[in-house]
Amino acid sequence: MTHAILIGHDGMVGTAFTKLFENEGVKVTAVGMDTLDLADPDSLARFTAAGADVVVCCAAYTNVDGAEENETLATQINGEAVGVIGKRCAEAGATLIHFSTDYVFDGSGFGDAEPEPYPVDAPIAPVNAYGRSKAVGEAALRESGADHLLVRTSWVYAPWGQNFVRTMAKLTAERDELKVVDDQRGRPTSAEHLARTSWALYQKGARGTFHVTDGGECTWHGLAEAVRDAQGAECAIAKCTTDEFPRPAKRPPYSVLDLSGAEAIVGSMTDWRRNVADVMARLEPV
Ligand SMILES: NC(=O)c1ccc[n+]([C@@H]2O[C@H](COP(=O)([O-])OP(=O)(O)OC[C@H]3O[C@@H](n4cnc5c(N)ncnc54)[C@H](OP(=O)(O)O)[C@@H]3O)[C@@H](O)[C@H]2O)c1
């Protein structure tokens, strides 16, 4: 039986892995903040991957705006700690599955003319502190010597946890009108689809860096409309610009990830509209 250590088991993606591993009959050692604090070097020093076939790291500092004022902490958790976990995996002969973000790219898209989806090996150039901290983690993982699967993803949602789909479900049910940003384009990602697809990649022996998201692309406005329609709400959703909603962290305007590497191994990614409809049917109350 495969033995997985699951770090960050109670986060949005961690919960998806917990459910997936239950169904797949994977033996799991769930690791939470109480036993491993990625910001604490002493706690990290006690971490061992001994006995595990695979370590899945879903823990991260994920507050994108908070990272602007706490970049040192974000870099400790998203950057340096990943290198330590990687080294422990290398020592134990375990594979490390780790997650990174579209925010490592600058958001102008790949290519010189019309923006095109970012290939896995496109140059990274993060525009905010969270993106920089995740970029440090990517480099630390590669340098750690661990056998690894590094999965970049974007705009993650699930029936649980704090995410845009649940927020929009609540707001479009409560309000008559709403404004949502229409000048940021990306690929939404169901956490369950992400867990399933990453696990399938691991099982098929894929190693190195891959992009995994839902299929298709949209703006936040398009995603909000899909959520509203899925629950039959009447809320009017107006389009607005990023400048109308200033946030501490700069957002990349175009962060569509190229999926061809992963699709060549596991087949086409399910379209985001289908995954959103599936999640909406099982949404946990906000
Ligand atoms: N959400 C997105 O849209 C998105 C997009 C691109 C990439 N990603 C990446 O996907 C991965 C999973 O993200 P997610 O959305 O599932 O995140 P999440 O729901 O915010 O969960 C993060 C997890 O990390 C744990 N954690 C936070 N600080 C920690 C620390 N110092 N030590 C140990 N554990 C700590 C949290 O524990 P507590 O619950 O106890 O705080 C929680 O279990 C991350 O690598 C993230 O960067 C996410």
Domain that holds residue 64: 3-162+187-215+256-270
Residue 243: inside a domain? no
Enter the tokens of residue 215: 């299929």
Domain count, the chain: 1
Which of 5, 43, 58, 96 to mutate for ligand 1's pocket (most ligand atoms within 8 Å of CB)? 58
* pLDDT string in tens for the chain (286-residue length): 999 999 999 999 999 999 999 999 999 999 999 999 999 999 999 999 999 999 999 999 999 999 999 999 999 999 999 999 999 999 999 999 999 999 999 998 887 778 899 999 999 999 999 999 999 999 999 999 999 999 999 999 999 999 999 999 999 999 999 999 999 999 999 999 999 999 999 999 999 999 999 999 999 999 999 999 999 999 999 999 999 988 999 999 999 999 999 999 999 999 999 999 999 999 998 8
* Domain membership flag for residue 94: yes
User: Is residue 42 in some structural domain?
Assistant: yes
Q: Which atom of ligand 1 is nearest to the CA of 102?
A: 6
In a domain, 230, yes or no: no
**What is the per-residue pLDDT for 46?**
95
Residue with tokens 């689809």: 193
**Model pLDDT, residue 90:** 98
Report CA-CA distances (Å) from 150 to 56, 206, 240, 283: 10, 10, 34, 28
Instruction: Output the pLDDT for position 8.
Output: 98
pLDDT of residue 138: 98
- CATH number for the domain spanning 131: value is 3.40.50.720
Q: Do the domain assignments include residue 11?
A: yes
Cα distance between residue 116 and residue 71, in whole Å = 30
pLDDT for 17 equals 98
User: What separation in Å is there between the alpha carbon of 113 and the centre of ligand 1?
Assistant: 35
Provide the CA 106 distance to its chain's centre, in angstroms: 17
80-115 in b/e form (b: 16+ CB < 10 A) is: bbbbbbbbbbbebebbbbbbbbbbbbbbebbeeeeb
Q: What's residue 207's pLDDT?
A: 98
Does residue 54 form part of some domain?
yes
At residue 272, the pLDDT reads 98
64 Cβ inside 6 Å of ligand 1: no
Name the residues annotated as catalytic: 130
CA distance 57 to 86: 10
- Cβ–ligand 1 distance for 37 under 6 Å, the answer yes
Q: Report which ligand 1 atom has the smallest distance to the Cα of 9.
A: 43
pLDDT at 285: 84
